[in-house]
């Protein structure tokens, strides 16, 4: 028999948790909830770290936590602080007892770990934060710096290549500093004329907001909350990866219809846990992080990293913003998951710290993960898929105004990228092989680079079992029915772009690659006798046809039937909460038509020796466009992500 527990700010944890006599805390309900039960939380503000005690038993016997219908429920990892005292000018000071934090003081814990980057000589930041009416401050290195925020030009400089949607200069002067002692912590903050004792001032207190403390609590649903202000740590793929919310190495969570914001680092985590490695590269200094990451894959297999026990999460219809590192993060624990219909923005833009593990979505080992119909903008990097991108499908997403839209690193495929809009100046970066790009709109550059010094795993199809590992030679990619409009490397990468691997408009970064598997084999056979040495200097085949290039975009020199036009425009426009694609395309655009592509039309991936398939092993079908229009299999459609796109002027709502 299942139960329904109610929680309300008017309740008491001594009550039975009924609708008429609700609990006061969500954790009280979490201590009692069993498979099949539902916890309904009523309107109000709850300052607690919800730590589920149990999970469900199956998709049909979940434990569900949800906001009461039509009611606004906020769960925060922060506490409101009053008792501030003036400390000269616009600076105020407060001292709080460390009992407020328990055994975790965010103002004594640094943002640190593998692959984090600080400018030379810069002080490390801490997991704490200060908020004035919901707006986070910037940490500075001393009380004196709190009094002189106008000297802090480096923050403003860091915005210049990230986004044109920045905080204004006055907001960058909202700064704080803390000193953590044995019994108390003192915080100085510059409120720029606001009175912190009358305005809403909050500080980070708890590491997470909704996150189990033990792994393997499966089949939990979290629905309809506002979740905010957590002191989350840096989450590289070689460490424990706790987020503001997440399953902590489990299976079958659903996180839907929430507003999630102001994680110090990562908001939603579907990543690994500590036993498979925790910042060993930084702590031990004896091996590179790459090697420890490789070891973590095998360590995970030893503790049951497989489809039966891990992954298969659903993250949908959430709004995620204002996080220092990631909107969604995960290594290993993300396998077989679906990420759809989310709005993700303002990720990793404050640049108080930086590193190689940032993005609106940053996943390692995204095996059979589907990332579809998300809106991702104003992020330091939109989607970053790193290692073991296999069976992965990125479809029908809208990315724009990011420093870079999508980066796929050291993966062997097969992976599908179809019916997306990539509208940032740096649109696509490929340090991988084995991809298929079908019916996308690409308004920025494409950069292709081999990676010969890092061999990474590939897997048996639709499985976590490792089949082998290899370096990245680049190529073995497929480009069909895409629309390229413009793209300038100087705009995408700024000064110094000429020193990088080619970042060009269109597919011309592949010039000189063989255009068929047969041509590739001929090049191998022409090499001197030997084994692996014969392959080192031979780039792989690229399969390209029926793409349209305009406004300076140029095709790969081995492409079949490209269409090239001198001029065209395409722009993503926001208006009243909606997003529109505005285009003006030449008559030549109408000349390219193709039937919907399937996995049978895509050459087999070489290293993984695998086909482009659905999760069930059937050939992939790419017949739904960006806005959900299904393409009939016997009809022909234009290049690009919209079935109805045509020459001339058009304006289409895409979100």
Q: Of 300, 200, 187, 182, whose CA–CA distance to 249 is shortest?
A: 300
**Alpha-carbon span 475 to 452, nearest angstrom:** 13
User: Residue 156: what pLDDT?
Assistant: 41
User: Residue 167: what pLDDT?
Assistant: 47
**Alpha-carbon span 43 to 7, nearest angstrom:** 9
- By the 8 A CB rule, do 644 and 629 touch? yes
Locate 491 and state its tokens. 């705009």
User: Residue 121: what pLDDT?
Assistant: 83
Low-confidence ranges of the chain (pLDDT < 50): 153-167, 169
- By the 8 A CB rule, do 413 and 457 touch? no
User: Residue 504: what pLDDT?
Assistant: 86
Q: Is the CATH number of domain 77-387 2.160.20.10?
A: yes
Tell me the three state secondary structure of residue 79: strand
DSSP assignment of 484-502: EE---HHHHH-TTGGGSS-
654 sits in which H/E element: none
**Alpha-carbon span 320 to 317, nearest angstrom:** 10
User: Residue 503: what pLDDT?
Assistant: 75
**Alpha-carbon span 86 to 94, nearest angstrom:** 9
Whose structure tokens read 């769960």?
75
pLDDT, tens digit, 9 for 90 and up, residues 563-608: 999 999 999 999 999 999 999 999 999 999 999 999 999 999 999 9
Which CATH number does 4-69 carry?
3.30.1910
pTM of the model: 0.96
User: Residue 502: what pLDDT?
Assistant: 64
User: Residue 161: what pLDDT?
Assistant: 36
Tell me the three state secondary structure of residue 39: strand
Domain boundaries, the chain: 4-69, 77-387
User: Residue 16: what pLDDT?
Assistant: 98
- By the 8 A CB rule, do 625 and 395 touch? no
User: Residue 97: what pLDDT?
Assistant: 98
pLDDT, tens digit, 9 for 90 and up, residues 28-65: 999 999 999 999 999 999 999 999 999 999 999 999 99
DSSP assignment of 522-556: HHHHTSPS-SGGGGTT-PPPEEEES-EEETT-B--
Label residues 596-615 b or e (16+ Cβ within 10 Å = b): bbbbebbeebbbbebbbbbe
Q: Of 442, 395, 393, 418, whose CA–CA distance to 581 is shortest?
A: 442
- By the 8 A CB rule, do 198 and 385 touch? no
* DSSP code, position 352: S
């Amino acid at each position: 028999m299942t139960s329904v527990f109610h929680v309300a700010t008017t309740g008491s944890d001594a009550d039975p948790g009924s609708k008429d006599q609700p609990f006061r805390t969500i954790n009280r309900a979490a201590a009692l909830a069993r498979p099949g039960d539902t916890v309904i939380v009523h309107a109000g503000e709850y300052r607690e770290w919800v730590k589920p005690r149990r999970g469900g038993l199956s998709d049909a016997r979940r434990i569900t936590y949800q906001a009461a219908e039509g009611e606004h429920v906020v769960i925060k990892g922060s506490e409101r602080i009053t008792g501030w005292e003036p400390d000269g000018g616009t600076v105020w000071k407060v001292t709080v007892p460390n009992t407020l934090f328990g055994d975790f003081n965010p103002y004594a814990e640094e943002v640190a770990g593998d692959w984090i980057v600080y400018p030379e000589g810069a002080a490390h930041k801490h997991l704490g934060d200060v908020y004035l009416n919901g707006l986070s401050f910037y940490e500075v290195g001393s009380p004196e710096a709190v009094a002189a925020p106008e000297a802090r030009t480096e923050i403003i400089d860091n915005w210049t290549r990230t986004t044109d949607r920045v905080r204004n200069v006055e907001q960058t002067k909202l700064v704080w500093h803390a000193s953590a002692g044995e019994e108390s912590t003192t915080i100085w903050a510059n409120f720029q004329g606001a009175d912190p004792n009358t305005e809403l001032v909050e500080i980070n207190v708890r590491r997470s907001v909704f996150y189990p403390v033990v792994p393997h609590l499966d089949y939990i649903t979290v629905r309809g909350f506002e979740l905010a202000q957590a002191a989350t740590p840096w989450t590289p793929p070689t460490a424990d990866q706790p987020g503001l919310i997440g399953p902590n190495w489990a299976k079958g969570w659903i996180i839907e219809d929430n507003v999630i914001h102001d994680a110090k680092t990562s908001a939603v985590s579907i990543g690994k846990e500590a036993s498979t490695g925790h910042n060993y590269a930084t702590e031990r200094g004896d091996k590179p992080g790459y090697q420890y990451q490789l070891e973590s894959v095998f360590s995970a297999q030893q503790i049951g990293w497989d489809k039966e026990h891990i992954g298969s999460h659903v993250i949908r219809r959430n709004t995620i913003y204002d996080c220092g590192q990631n909107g969604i993060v995960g290594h290993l624990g993300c396998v077989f998951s679906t990420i759809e219909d989310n709005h993700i923005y303002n990720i990793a833009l404050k640049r108080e710290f930086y590193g190689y593990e940032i993005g609106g979505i940053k996943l390692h080992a995204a095996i059979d993960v589907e990332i579809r119909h998300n809106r991702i903008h104003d992020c330091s990097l939109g989607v970053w898929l790193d290692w073991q991108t296999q069976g992965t499908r990125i479809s029908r997403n809208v990315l724009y105004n990011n420093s870079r839209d999508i980066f796929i690193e050291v993966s062997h495929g097969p992976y599908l990228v179809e019916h997306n809009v990539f509208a940032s100046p740096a649109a696509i970066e490929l340090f991988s092989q084995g991809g298929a790009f079908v019916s996308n709109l690409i308004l920025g550059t494409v950069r292709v680079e081999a990676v010969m010094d890092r061999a990474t795993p590939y897997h048996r199809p639709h499985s976590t079992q490792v089949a082998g590992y290899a370096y990245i030679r680049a190529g073995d990619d497929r480009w069909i029915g895409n629309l390229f409009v413009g793209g300038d490397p100087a705009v995408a990468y700024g000064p110094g772009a000429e020193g990088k691997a080619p970042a060009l408009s269109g597919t011309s970064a592949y010039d000189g690659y063989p255009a068929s598997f047969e041509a590739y084999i001929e090049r191998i056979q022409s090499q001197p006798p030997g084994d692996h040495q014969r392959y080192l200097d031979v780039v792989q085949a690229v399969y390209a046809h029926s793409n349209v290039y305009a406004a300076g975009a140029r095709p790969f020199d081995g492409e079949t039937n490209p269409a090239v036009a001198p001029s065209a425009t395409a722009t993503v426009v926001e208006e009243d909460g909606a997003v529109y694609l505005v285009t003006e395309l030449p008559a030549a655009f109408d000349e390219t038509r193709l039937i919907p592509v399937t996995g049978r039309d895509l050459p087999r991936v070489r290293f993984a020796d695998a086909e482009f398939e659905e999760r069930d092993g059937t050939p992939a079908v790419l017949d739904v466009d960006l806005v959900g229009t299904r393409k009939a299999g016997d009809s022909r459609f234009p290049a690009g992500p919209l079935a109805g796109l045509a020459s001339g002027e058009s304006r289409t709502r895409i979100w």
